[in-house]
């Protein structure tokens, strides 16, 4: 059973056709064949699903994971910014009034988990509160990209959003990404202190988080009064199992029923032949990447980054590390299945061109040892950091080391534990680093812009980058979705020519589950199988466009 994410270019016209109350959708809803459904029971009393890390008490301002958070919270549109046509969810209608203004109608039959009624006040509060909160996963949607200046009620109980500059993607991206918070809960919290909140969250979503412990993990109970329909699973238990080997052993033995961790490539065939185990294939909107520290030489030099990119044999990485399961990352940073990906951009492997560029920049092998020196004659020792607990990443590092040696760049590998890798990444105290990005980073068009401003891909405007500076102003001046995507195409071309993060391969993902316990699993683009749509009636997920198309 496999799913792909068929990329579709967004348009305001398509948006207006399908943005109607989600539970009344028919013609705009998706669908799939019964033959392609996961094997197993459609309902379950209790499921045990291992999570690979402790995300705390699901405070959306402090280290949460989107998949778990959305069990508790809802958004105005569903399922995410990663589909071409998100559908109204807490909203009943979404209309773009002019280049800077959107109006949203709201449902009147939704309650928070504590019984309080959901209203327009909660929506307005959520956007105002996130505007005041410290920078985090969701705040750029209000403060910068886009920049929302006004959120006010409409006469019919809805909400009007006004942006500081044109925001044609507000309806398909921002409103489909930002969770709505209960005013009566969060209004008691100082925005400056949001990251310290440890209370269990109250949302409108299909599950209530009723217990959390860093040692025992999470326990969710179904919200039986959920406005979209009663969940198909009564209870979710989510123990934290950080070790991959222990996770897959527990899945095989039946100790757990599924996991938030996809199977390692070498385990796929084993699990496919294991009784009572099902395997679902998906095309994820994330991939392993090589990050370059553009704040320091030599990576501050754009052409040096070009040379490094040309030296990477992405076909070999795919064949050796992912066992050929996926695609080589030759289309650049934006995932090729993202709604705004430029289809014909390219990041080729060309070791000869890499050598030529390095020669022209003055990086030459002066002493004949096969390793290039800096233009001033000094050694050029570079270090590649990798999580030593992730075997695929370690193997990728070894292949990259060979690729760079082939063009005369001397690179040593330093393996660290996951915590140290996170610290090195946050501090930017590395030359090069292998990590796995997120759908938010590589499939959200506004985050692609924000990453150039936040210090992730660049540090605009404080760090000079004339080519991006001009294109950013062009992007900002556009007023239609079509023109904005065309501007994004140009930015993708510039970035891919001199990247600060290099895609290694676009993998396929394989998710194992206990088919004797539950078969309601569906793949949602960017979310895998462990997410709210797997635990709701299938027709609800289809109408929300939450199920990835089948092969």
Output the pLDDT for position 545. 96
Output the pLDDT for position 9. 44
Length of the chain: 551
- pLDDT band at residue 4, thresholds of 50, 70 and 90? very low
Output the pLDDT for position 12. 37
Output the pLDDT for position 551. 57
Give 265's contacts (C-beta < 8 A, 6+ positions apart): 321, 322, 323, 325, 392, 507, 510
Q: Which CATH architecture has domain 207-283+511-544?
A: 3-Layer(aba) Sandwich (3.40)
Sign of CA dihedral 473, 474, 475, 477: positive
DSSP secondary structure, 8-62, as one string: ----HHHHHHH-S-GGG-STT-----GGGSPSS-S-EEEEEEEBSS--TT--TTT
Of all residues in the chain, the percent with pLDDT exceeding 70 is: 93
Is the model's pLDDT at 286 over the cut of 80? yes
For residues 103-130, give the mean pLDDT.
97
Is the model's pLDDT at 63 over the cut of 90? no
Query: Where is pLDDT greater, at 338 or 135?
Result: 338
Is the model's pLDDT at 259 over the cut of 50? yes
Of all residues in the chain, the percent with pLDDT exceeding 90 is: 87
User: Rounded to the nearest 5°, which phi and psi values hold at 201?
Assistant: -75, 150
For residues 151-174, give the mean pLDDT.
96
Q: Are 207 and 186 in contact (CB under 8 A)?
A: no
Is the model's pLDDT at 8 over the cut of 50? no
- pLDDT band at residue 1, thresholds of 50, 70 and 90? low
Compute, in degrees rounded to 10, the torsion defined by CA atoms 164, 168, 172, 177.
Answer: -20
Angle, CA of 179, 473 and 178, to the nearest 5°: 0
Mean model confidence pLDDT for the chain: 92
Output the pLDDT for position 96. 97
What residue spans in the chain does CATH classification 3.10.105.10 cover? 288-506
For residues 497-518, give the mean pLDDT.
97
Q: At what angle do helices 302-311 and 391-406 cross, to 10 degrees?
A: 110
For residues 275-304, give the mean pLDDT.
96
For residues 312-332, give the mean pLDDT.
97
Output the pLDDT for position 397. 98
For residues 420-435, give the mean pLDDT.
96
- pLDDT band at residue 135, thresholds of 50, 70 and 90? confident
Kindly report, residue by residue over 336-361, the tens digit of the pLDDT. Answer: 999 999 999 999 999 999 999 999 99
Is the model's pLDDT at 30 over the cut of 80? no
Q: Are 530 and 49 in contact (CB under 8 A)?
A: yes
Output the pLDDT for position 136. 84
Joined together, the tokens standing for residue 137 give 């996963």
For residues 74-85, give the mean pLDDT.
95
Output the pLDDT for position 134. 86
Helix, coil or strand: residue 225? coil
Output the pLDDT for position 36. 59
Cα 514 to Cα 250: distance, rounded to the nearest angstrom: 11
For residues 371-389, give the mean pLDDT.
96
CATH number for domain 288-506, candidates 3.10.105.10, 3.90.226.10, 3.40.50.12280, 3.40.50.1370: 3.10.105.10
Cα 385 to Cα 430: distance, rounded to the nearest angstrom: 7
Cα 105 to Cα 27: distance, rounded to the nearest angstrom: 21
Give the DSSP letter of residue 380. -
Output the pLDDT for position 18. 39
Is the model's pLDDT at 437 over the cut of 80? yes
Element (H, E) at 97: strand 91-98
Output the pLDDT for position 23. 28
Q: Which CATH architecture has domain 74-192?
A: Alpha-Beta Complex (3.90)
What residue spans in the chain does CATH classification 3.90.76.10 cover? 74-192
Pairing type for strands 326-328 and 505-507 reads antiparallel
Output the pLDDT for position 140. 79
Give 149's contacts (C-beta < 8 A, 6+ positions apart): 162, 163, 164
Taking the whole predicted model, whether its pTM rises above 0.75 is answered as: yes
Is the model's pLDDT at 32 over the cut of 60? no
Cα 200 to Cα 210: distance, rounded to the nearest angstrom: 7
Q: Can you state the percent helix, strand and coil of the chain, rounding each to 5?
A: 30, 20, 45
Q: Are 286 and 80 in contact (CB under 8 A)?
A: no
């Amino acid at each position: 059973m496999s799913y792909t994410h068929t990329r579709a270019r967004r348009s305001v016209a398509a948006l207006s056709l399908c943005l109607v109350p989600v539970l009344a959708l028919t013609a705009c809803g998706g669908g799939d064949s019964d033959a392609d459904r996961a094997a197993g029971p459609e309902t379950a009393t209790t499921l045990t699903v291992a999570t690979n890390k402790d995300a705390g008490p699901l405070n959306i301002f402090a280290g949460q994971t989107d998949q778990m958070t959305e069990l508790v919270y809802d958004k105005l549109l569903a399922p995410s910014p990663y589909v071409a046509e998100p559908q109204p969810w807490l909203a009943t209608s979404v209309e773009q009034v002019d280049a800077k203004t959107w109006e949203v109608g709201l449902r009147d039959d939704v309650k928070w988990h504590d019984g309080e009624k959901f209203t327009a006040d909660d929506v307005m509060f959520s956007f105002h509160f996130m505007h005041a909160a410290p920078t985090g996963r969701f705040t750029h949607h209000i403060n910068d990209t886009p920049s929302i200046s006004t959120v006010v009620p409409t006469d019919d109980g809805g909400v009007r959003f006004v942006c500081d500059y044109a925001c044609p993607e507000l309806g398909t991206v921002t409103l489909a990404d930002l969770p709505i918070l209960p005013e009566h809960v969060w209004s008691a919290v100082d925005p400056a202190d949001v990251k310290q909140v440890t209370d269990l969250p109250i949302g409108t979503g299909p599950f209530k988080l009723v217990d959390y412990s860093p040692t025992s993990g999470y326990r969710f109970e179904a919200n039986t009064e959920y406005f979209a329909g009663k969940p198909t699973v009564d209870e979710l238990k989510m123990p934290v199992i950080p070790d991959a080997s222990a996770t897959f052993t527990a899945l095989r033995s039946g100790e757990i029923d599924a996991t938030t961790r996809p199977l390692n490539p070498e385990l796929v065939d084993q699990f496919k032949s294991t009784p009572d185990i099902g395997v679902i294939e998906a095309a994820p909107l994330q991939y392993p990447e090589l990050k370059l520290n553009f704040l320091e030489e030599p990576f501050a030099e754009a052409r040096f980054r070009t040379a490094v990119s040309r030296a990477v044999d992405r076909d070999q990485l795919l064949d050796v590390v992912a066992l050929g399961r996926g695609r080589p990352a030759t289309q650049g940073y934006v995932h090729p299945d993202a709604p705004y990906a430029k289809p014909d951009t390219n990041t080729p492997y060309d070791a000869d061109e890499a050598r030529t560029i390095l020669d022209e920049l003055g990086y030459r092998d002066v002493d004949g040892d096969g390793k290039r020196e800096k233009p001033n004659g000094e050694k050029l020792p570079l270090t590649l950091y990798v999580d030593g607990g992730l075997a695929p990443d370690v193997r990728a590092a070894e292949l990259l080391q060979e690729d760079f040696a082939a063009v005369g760049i001397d690179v040593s590998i330093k393996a660290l534990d996951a915590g140290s890798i996170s610290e090195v990444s946050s501090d930017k105290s590395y030359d090069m680093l292998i990590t796995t990005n997120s759908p938010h980073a590589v499939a959200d068009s506004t985050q692609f812009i924000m990453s150039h401003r936040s210090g992730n891909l660049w540090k605009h405007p404080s760090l000079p980058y004339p080519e991006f500076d001009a294109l950013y102003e062009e992007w900002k001046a556009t007023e239609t979705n079509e023109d904005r995507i065309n501007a994004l195409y140009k930015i993708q071309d510039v970035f891919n020519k001199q990247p600060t993060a290099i895609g290694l391969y676009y993998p396929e993902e394989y998710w194992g589950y206990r088919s004797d316990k539950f078969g309601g699993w569906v793949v949602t683009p960017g979310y895998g199988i462990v997410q709210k749509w797997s635990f709701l009636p299938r027709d609800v997920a289809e109408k929300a466009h939450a199920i990835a198309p089948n092969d």
